[in-house]
Amino acid sequence: MAEQNFDLIVVGGGPGGYVAAIRAAQLKMNVALVEREHLGGICLNWGCIPTKALLRTSEINHLLNHLDAFGFKAENVSFDIAKIVDRSRKVAAQLSGGVKHLLKKNKVTVFDGTGTLDGVAGGNRKIKVEKDGKPVADLTAKNVILATGARARQAPGMEGDGKLIWTYKDAMVPKALPKSLLVVGSGAIGIEFASFYHNLGVDVTVVEMMDRVLPVEDEEISAFARKSFEKQGLKIRTSATVKDIKKAADSVTATIETQGKTESITVDRVIVAIGIVGNVENIGLEGTRIKVEKTHVVVDGHLFTGEPGVYAIGDMVGPPWLAHKASHEGIIAVETIAGMKTHAMDVTNIPGCTYCMPQVASVGLTEAKAKAAGHEVKVGRFPYIGNGKAIAMGETEGMIKTVFDAKTGELLGAHMIGAEVTELIQGYVIAKNLETTEAELMETIFAHPTLSEMMHESVLDAYGRAIHF
């Protein structure tokens, strides 16, 4: 098989890989992209996008159950879970097709198969591409970007079986709606599924081994979220572990230990969402200088692996496991390869979003981490109940919290819970990226009536100047 030469080979077509390929093509590189399954990766096909389609459906169902508050009346409203799932899959397919179009438009050559590092020849990296054990192509390039992503972490004794114990993929395509559900793990994935199924009427219990739900978030936001979830009817067990699982024909009995106390609950289905594992096996890392720690490839701030000509991006290089982080890493890697001046990845400028109800979003340091890092802080808060637009929307549950360095006025972090905070957070991300202080934020004019006014009020509150609270 004749070798095909490129300037850059990208292994993996997810939100990191396909963005890297397109950016390289913009910089006039001849680019090959190797993808074994779905263009768009997990995010577009089995993650970010289809889950948001499902959550949109559950939000609509939630509103339908509260029509009277808005002056409406409807009787015998029902839903079809098959149609809900079908819509989600069509949304994913539409966007995956869009990625295919973008790659074609940018003249990126796409290879369908699994790419493996296969040594060096004449100063070029070699990539072997196979599909179902059969050779597809032999590729060479001076530089390679690995973007193979990650997969769900399996818990011993709770391995996904596609029937009673679900992975995130199973949870997105239920053939029928269970009456009861146990969700193991309360990170973004676990809480989003808990919120989706609960809003469709499922009896949901969440088990989290840490002492709070959404453990990466600010403690105050986590506490607010738990109170809100329990008010809705979600059952939550923190500082808890699943000690035993017993399967029956169409149900599962779980033994849960919470701070020394044991209880057994029987549910129709279990979703396990306890983190992810990097896809670092069988891609030719053996014999290279590439280091793997805790299933993730070690890279520097510009995504270089230490192996000449090889970069790695996205979920395979570790947390935060976010599509937008992967995309940005792809651009940093490509522009570094192109010899452009690039900034190293700063994880404190990466926003995190959880699309549960209420939504949660954040950027930068939590109050606790800011103090632990030695900062003297000023903290501002503003509740949704004090905002006119939130009241008009019927969305009065939430708060916005900002953390500043007391000496310099630097915005250290912003933490939000409530309606549409996943859209609002970008204002703080821009401010943080521009190294804005409280002075500029206080002088900024926010439109009225908007939810974003609460962002302004939270800043003002940090300095004792809040107007509406």
Every domain of the chain with CATH number 3.50.50.60 lies at: 3-151+277-347, 162-274
What does the pLDDT read at residue 122?
A: 82
23-76 pLDDT tens trace: 999 999 999 999 998 898 887 888 889 999 999 999 999 999 899 999 999 988
Q: What is the pLDDT of residues 152-173, one digit of tens each?
A: 888 888 999 999 999 999 999 9
Domain 162-274: which CATH class?
A: alpha beta
- For all residues of the chain together, what is the average pLDDT? 95
Given the candidates 3.40.50.300, 3.50.50.60, 3.40.50.12160, 3.90.1580.10, the CATH classification of the domain at 3-151+277-347 is 3.50.50.60
Q: Does the pLDDT of residue 2 top 80, yes or no?
A: no
What span, in angstroms and rounded, lies between the C-alpha atoms of 459 and 438? 7
DSSP string, 232-283: HT-EEE-SEEEEEEEE-SS-EEEEEEETTEEEEEEESEEEE---EEE--TTS
pLDDT, residue 47, reads: 84
Average pLDDT over residues 432-442: 96
Q: What is the pLDDT of residue 469?
A: 87
Whether residue 459 is predicted with pLDDT greater than 90 in this model: the reply is: yes
**Predicted model pTM:** 0.94
pLDDT of residue 215: 96
Distance CA(285)–CA(118), nearest Å, equals 9
Helices (H), 375-462: 388-393, 421-433, 438-443, 453-462
Q: Is 406 helix (H, G, I), strand (E, B) or coil?
A: coil
195-232 CB burial, b ≥16 within 10 A, e <16: bbbbbbebbbbbbbeeebbbeebbebbbebbbebbeee
Q: How many CB atoms lie within 10 A of CB 135?
A: 11
Q: What is the percent of the chain where pLDDT is above 70?
A: 100
pLDDT of residue 156: 87
Within 10 A of 176 (CB to CB), how many other CB atoms are there?
9
Q: What is the pLDDT of residues 370-398, one digit of tens each?
A: 999 999 999 999 999 999 999 999 999 99
Q: The domain 358-462 belongs to what CATH superfamily?
A: FAD/NAD-linked reductase, C-terminal dimerisation domain (3.30.390.30)
pLDDT at res. 385: 97
pLDDT given for residue 90 in this prediction: 95
Q: Which of 430, 437, 427 is nearest to 462 (CA)?
A: 437
**Distance of alpha carbon 287 from alpha carbon 290, whole angstroms:** 8
**Distance set, CA 449 to CA 103, 387, 452 (Å):** 41, 8, 8
User: What is the per-residue pLDDT across 312-344, written as a single tens digit (0 to 9) for each?
Assistant: 999 999 899 999 999 999 999 999 999 999 999
Q: Band the pLDDT of 121: cuts 50, 70, 90.
A: confident
Ranges of CATH 3.30.390.30 domains, the chain: 358-462
How large is the average pLDDT for residues 238-249? 96
Q: Could you give the residue numbers annotated as active site?
A: 448
Region 239-247: what's the mean pLDDT?
A: 96
End-to-end, the C-alpha distance of the chain in Å comes to: 71
What is the arithmetic mean of pLDDT over 200-223? 97
pLDDT of 361 strictly over 80 = yes
Residue 43 has a pLDDT of: 79
* Section 105-131 average pLDDT: 94
Spatial distance between the Cα atoms of 185 and 194, rounded to a whole number of angstroms: 10
> 364 burial class (0-12, 13-18, 19+ CB within 10 angstroms)?
buried
